[in-house]
């Protein structure tokens, strides 16, 4: 199975900050990488697919990059509604696997 | 508007069975693959399995942790995806989510249904 490792596991940031989360795959996955946002008690929301393509309706403050084994999710200017847990997921091969999540908290 | 609504969750004893349903609306259900995920209390997301559209054979894939116990099926005439769960274990306790799959990645998620396996 492909292991996905996110860093950091949690971070504290202020409104307006630029935030970057990294995700590393244990082997190359091309660009078969998605990012999801989950708020407490809610279902996940799809943000990005194919490493850098925004899902429909997702604001452009979210961006993704990377290929192979190293990926990043960037939030350009953190807003109150962005405080949540973010997960990366590879879909290059079965089983699809997730990172452990990065919790973005208010500083 | 795409909507996915899971149902069928509840409390079940270990070793028993349960069937979850995912009722879809707002899109042509038969054109899309569907997937199931789960999230144990306080834990991260875990992929459960996937069913292709009939155009791609309607075949399935499963996580090793559920293979042989869980079965995903679909009824395109009713726009429903099912997750049949047999021989349930306490470690299957989780919120179960269904998703629509587009270009081999989930784009829309349902609100989830809680399954508690306990005696």
Q: Taking 90 as the threshold, does the pLDDT of residue A55 lie above it?
A: yes
Structure tokens at A3: 């292991």
Q: Are B106 and B47 in contact (CB under 8 A)?
A: no
Round to whole Å and give the CA distance between B111 and B28.
20
- For residue A8, whether the previous peptide bond is cis, meaning omega lies within 30 degrees of 0, is yes
Interface mutation vs chain B, best among A37, A87, A91, most B CBs within 10 Å: A91
The C-alpha of B61 sits at a distance from chain A's nearest C-alpha, in angstroms, of 8
Q: Which residues of chain A have a CB within 8 Å of the CB of B46?
A: 98
The pLDDT of residue A75: 97
Convert the pLDDT of each residue in B34-91 to its tens digit: 999 999 999 999 999 999 999 999 999 999 999 999 999 999 999 999 999 999 999 9
CA contacts within 13 A on the Cβ side of A68: 1
Q: Taking 90 as the threshold, does the pLDDT of residue B103 lie above it?
A: no
Q: Which residues, 6 or more positions from A57, have their beta carbon under 8 angstroms from its beta carbon? A: none
Q: Taking 90 as the threshold, does the pLDDT of residue A3 lie above it?
A: yes
């Amino acid at each position: 199975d492909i292991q996905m490792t996110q860093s950091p596991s949690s971070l504290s940031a202020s409104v307006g900050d630029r935030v970057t989360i990294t995700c590393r795959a244990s082997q190359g996955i091309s660009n078969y990488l998605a990012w999801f946002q989950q708020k407490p008690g809610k279902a996940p929301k799809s943000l990005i697919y194919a490493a850098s393509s925004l899902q429909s309706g997702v604001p452009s403050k979210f961006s993704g990059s990377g290929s192979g084994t190293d990926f990043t999710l960037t939030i350009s200017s953190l807003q109150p509604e962005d405080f949540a847990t973010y997960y990366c997921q590879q879909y290059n091969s079965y089983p699809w696997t997730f990172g452990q999540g990065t919790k973005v908290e208010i500083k | 508007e795409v909507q996915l609504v899971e149902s069928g969750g509840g409390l079940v004893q270990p070793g028993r069975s349960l069937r979850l349903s995912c009722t879809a609306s707002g899109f042509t259900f038969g054109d899309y693959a569907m997937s199931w995920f789960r999230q144990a209390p306080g834990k991260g997301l875990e992929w459960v399995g996937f069913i292709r559209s009939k155009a791609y054979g309607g075949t399935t894939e499963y996580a090793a942790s559920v293979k042989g116990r869980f079965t995903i099926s679909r009824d395109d005439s009713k726009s429903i995806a099912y997750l049949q769960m047999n021989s349930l274990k306490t470690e299957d306790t989780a919120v179960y989510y269904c998703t629509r799959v587009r270009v081999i990645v989930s784009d829309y998620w349902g609100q989830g249904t809680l399954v508690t396996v306990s005696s």
